[in-house]
């Protein structure tokens, strides 16, 4: 959908905030990061595909992280997040161009990886291994029940055309348990967990 008005994108970020708040998205990310904190000493969180910035803000507040940074390829996302959370740093960039101090860095994604095909995900996983102590990913499960659930939700008239278009497609693009396992192992990960969470989410916690 090219040439999407900025106000429509802002509304879409608000809708995603609602979905994450009431349908378990934030809880899934908090769970994953809490498990990571048990394994590693973390002082910095990098949120790749940070969107409107809400997930990063919630994680930094929950875990008392002062150094939180969001990376997104969209200028609109960076603008929206920076306006809402001026205490955090948001950058418009291709994550592959970012080089991070690996020690004590946690890389987090939420509803990001289903936008990538398997080859792109493997490249992302390899990049994360080079730039972080530990990786936490929160994404959708691909199954018929998840699709039916999100299809029913998007029928509500208050949701925007962007949400109605993207939500069912996101489930279709999501990866299965076996696909995640295959991608992680091809990327060189031997220490990982793929955990099913409510509302058709996977939380993947991985480190080399």
Give per-residue pLDDT as tens, 12-29.
Answer: 899 989 889 988 899 999
Checking if the pLDDT of 188 tops 80, the result is yes
Q: Is 11 a member of any domain?
A: yes
- Tokens 């991985």 belong to 206
87-121 pLDDT, tens digit each: 999 999 999 998 888 889 999 999 999 999 999 99
Which pair of structure tokens corresponds to residue 167?
Answer: 């939500």
Q: Is 1 a member of any domain?
A: no
- CATH number for the domain that contains residue 17: 3.40.50.150
Residue 167 contacts residue 156 (beta carbons within 8 Å): no
Mean of the per-residue pLDDT values of the chain: 90
d(CA 140, CA 110): 9
Residue 56 confidence (pLDDT): 98
User: What CA–CA distances, in Å, run from 194 to 36, 66, 123?
Assistant: 13, 28, 19
Q: Is 201 a member of any domain?
A: yes
Of 61, 72, 147, 149, nearest in space to 109 by CA: 72
The full DSSP string for 95-149 is: GGG-----TTEEEEEES-GGGS-HHHHHHHHHHHHHH-SEEEEEEEB-SHHHHHH
Residue 58: give the domain boundaries.
Answer: 6-207
Q: How many helices (H) and strands (E) does the chain have?
A: 8, 7
For the chain, what is the domain count? 1
């Amino acid at each position: 959908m090219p040439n999407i008005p900025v106000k429509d994108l802002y509304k879409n970020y608000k809708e995603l905030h609602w979905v994450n708040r009431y349908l378990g998205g934030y809880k899934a990310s908090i769970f994953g990061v809490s498990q990571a904190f048990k394994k590693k000493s973390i002082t910095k969180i990098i949120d790749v595909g940070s969107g409107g910035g809400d997930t990063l803000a919630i994680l930094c507040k929950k875990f008392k992280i002062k150094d939180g940074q969001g990376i997104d390829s969209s200028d609109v996302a960076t603008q929206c997040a920076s306006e809402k959370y001026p205490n955090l740093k948001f950058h418009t960039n291709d994550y592959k161009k970012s080089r991070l101090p690996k020690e004590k860095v946690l890389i987090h994604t939420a509803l990001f990886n289903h936008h990538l095909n398997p080859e792109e995900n493997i490249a992302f996983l390899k990049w994360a291994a080079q730039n972080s102590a530990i990786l936490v990913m929160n994404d959708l499960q691909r199954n018929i029940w998840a699709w039916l659930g999100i299809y029913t939700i998007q029928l509500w008239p208050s949701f925007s055309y962007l949400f109605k278009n993207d939500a069912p497609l996101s489930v279709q693009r999501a990866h299965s348990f076996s696909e995640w396992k295959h991608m992680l192992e091809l990327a060189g990960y031997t220490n990982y967990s793929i955990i099913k969470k409510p509302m058709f989410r996977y939380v993947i916690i991985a480190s080399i």
